[in-house]
C-alpha cells in the first residue's frame, strides 16, 4: 500500500542539499584515506554536503557527530529486490539508516544511479517500484521529514539538448520517466542530473568552444525560442533539463546537479583531460556556485551541484579519465589548487576530535528554520 498524500507532500520541508556546493565521495580505490581522515579533509575544505554510492557503515560511523550531511545510495544491483519486496526495502532502511540517526545526518537516499537511459532495461521497469517501497519504509518509520528520496539521471534520458529550450525526454524513456516524475512531485523530490561539460566537449570538440565548457570568456550560445543567452555549458545543460521537465508537465520541479567535474588526466584520445583544464573548470565552478544564483531560464532557482569527485579512484574501469576526476590525490594532498587545503597529518586528530565534540544538527535544523541553515551554510563557505 502506498502511503502518499498531496496534503502530506505539501507539508514536507525535507531537503537533502542545504548548501550549494557538495562532493561525491567515491571509494572504488585501494589507496585512499580512511573515513575518519576524509571527515577531517571535508571539514578543512568546508564542504558539508556529501554523496556516497552505497551505505557503508564505516563511513556512516565516521560521519557521526560531525555535522556533515550525507546522501547514501542503494546500488543498482539491489533495485530489483527493493522493488519486488516491501519487507526487503524496510529491512534495508532499518539496517542502513535508522541505527545511525540522529548522530549521522543522513539527509537523502538515492535509488540507484543513471538507470533510465542505461543499458539494463530490466532496471528501467523496477526503478519506480524500488523508489516507492523505500519511501514507504522511510515514512512508516517516521523518517520522511528527515530523508529525501531521489535518483540521478544521465543526459542519456534526453532526445536533444541544443538549444536548451528544445530538450525533451527520449520517447522510450518518457513512459518510465513520467510516472517517476509524478511520484517525486508528490513527495517533494527534485530532478537529479549528472551533467558533464567535459563529456559534451569531448564528444564534439570541433563544434564546441572549450572556453564555453570551462566557464571562460566566450560568445556563448543564443536560444532563439526563449531569447536567452548562455555563457557557459553547465547552465545550458541545467536549463535543458528544466525544458524537458516543463514539456513533461513538471515545470516547478527543481533540478539539482548530482555529478559534475573535469578529468585531470586521460588517454591519448582524451586531449581535454589536463590538470590545467580540470583546475579551470573546478575553480570557476566553485566561484559560480558561491554566487548562489540561478540559470537564465530559472533565475530564482539557485544552482546546487555535487562535484565529482573527492579522490582519484584507481580501481575504476574504463578510460584513464575515469580514474582522474579527484580534487584530491589518494594521500589526501590536493590534485591542483582551487583554494582547498589537503590533509594535514599533524592536526588531523585534534581537528576531528573538535568536530565530534561540537557535533552538528545539519538537515534537522533545516526543518526548524530554512533561513538559519542558509545563513550558516553561507558563513561556512565564506570562512
Max intra-chain CA distance, the chain = 57
User: Cell 589537503, residue?
Assistant: 342
Q: Is residue 209 within 8 Å of 232, Cβ to Cβ?
A: no
Question: Taking the mean position of all CA atoms in its chain, how far away is CA 34?
Answer: 22
Its sign, for the CA torsion 314, 106, 103, 134, is negative
Report the alpha-carbon distance of residue 23 to residue 90 in Å, rounded.
28
Q: Which of 114, 246, 268, 357 is catalytic?
A: 114
Q: What contacts 7, CB < 8 A, 6 or more positions away? A: none
Residue recorded with cell 548530482:
258
CA 143, CA 145: separation in Å to the nearest integer?
Answer: 5
Is residue 259 annotated as part of the catalytic site, yes or no?
A: yes
Backbone angles phi, psi at 322, to 5 degrees: -60, -25
Among 45, 53, 60, residue whose Cα is nearest residue 26: 53
Q: Give helix 86-96 / helix 121-140 axis angle, nearest 10°.
A: 60
* Separation between Cα atoms, residue 192 and residue 110, nearest integer Å: 10
Residue 357 falls in the annotated catalytic set = no
Cell numbers at 305, concatenated? 551541484
Residue in 2, 86, 246, 259 annotated catalytic: 259
Cα separation, 321 vs 266, in Å, equals 4
Q: Cα 81 to chain center, whole Å?
A: 24
Catalytic annotation, residues:
114, 259
Amino acid at each position: 500500500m502506498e502511503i502518499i498524500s498531496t496534503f502530506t507532500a505539501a507539508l514536507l520541508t525535507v531537503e537533502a542539499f542545504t548548501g550549494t556546493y557538495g562532493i561525491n565521495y567515491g571509494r572504488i580505490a585501494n589507496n585512499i584515506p580512511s573515513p575518519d581522515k576524509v571527515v577531517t579533509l571535508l571539514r578543512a575544505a568546508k564542504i558539508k554536503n556529501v554523496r556516497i554510492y552505497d551505505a557503508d557503515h564505516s563511513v556512516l560511523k565516521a560521519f557521526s557527530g560531525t555535522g556533515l550531511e550525507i546522501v547514501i545510495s542503494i546500488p543498482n544491483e539491489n533495485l530489483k529486490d527493493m522493488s519486488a519486496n516491501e519487507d526487503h526495502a524496510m529491512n534495508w532502511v532499518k539496517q542502513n539508516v535508522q541505527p545511525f540517526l540522529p548522530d549521522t545526518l543522513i539527509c537523502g537516499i538515492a535509488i540507484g544511479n543513471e538507470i533510465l537511459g542505461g543499458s539494463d532495461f530490466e532496471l528501467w521497469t523496477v526503478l519506480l517500484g524500488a523508489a516507492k517501497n523505500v519511501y514507504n519504509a522511510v515514512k512508516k518509520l517516521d523518517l520522511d521529514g528527515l530523508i529525501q528520496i531521489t535518483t540521478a539521471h544521465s543526459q542519456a534520458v534526453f532526445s536533444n539538448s541544443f538549444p536548451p529550450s528544445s530538450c525533451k525526454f527520449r520517447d522510450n524513456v518518457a513512459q518510465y520517466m513520467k510516472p517517476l516524475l509524478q511520484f517525486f512531485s508528490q513527495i517533494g523530490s527534485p530532478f537529479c542530473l549528472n551533467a558533464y561539460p567535459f563529456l559534451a566537449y569531448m564528444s564534439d570538440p570541433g563544434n564546441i568552444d572549450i572556453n564555453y565548457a570551462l566557464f571562460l570568456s566566450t560568445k556563448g550560445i543564443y536560444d532563439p525560442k526563449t531569447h536567452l543567452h548562455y555563457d557557459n555549458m553547465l547552465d545550458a545543460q541545467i536549463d535543458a533539463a528544466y525544458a524537458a521537465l516543463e514539456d513533461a508537465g513538471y515545470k516547478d520541479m527543481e533540478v539539482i546537479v548530482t555529478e559534475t567535474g573535469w578529468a585531470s588526466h586521460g588517454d591519448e584520445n582524451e586531449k581535454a583531460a589536463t590538470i590545467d583544464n580540470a583546475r579551470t573548470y573546478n575553480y570557476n565552478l566553485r566561484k559560480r556556485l558561491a554566487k548562489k544564483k540561478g540559470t537564465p531560464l530559472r533565475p530564482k532557482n539557485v544552482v546546487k551541484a555535487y562535484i565529482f569527485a573527492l579522490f582519484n579512484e584507481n580501481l575504476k574501469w574504463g578510460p584513464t579519465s575515469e580514474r582522474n576526476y579527484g580534487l584530491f590525490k589518494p594521500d589526501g594532498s590536493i590534485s591542483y589548487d582551487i583554494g582547498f587545503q589537503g590533509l594535514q597529518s599533524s592536526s588531523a586528530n585534534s581537528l576531528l576530535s573538535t568536530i565530534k565534540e561540537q557535533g552538528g544538527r545539519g538537515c534537522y535544523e533545516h526543518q526548524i528554520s530554512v533561513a538559519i541553515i542558509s545563513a550558516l551554510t553561507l558563513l561556512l563557505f565564506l570562512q
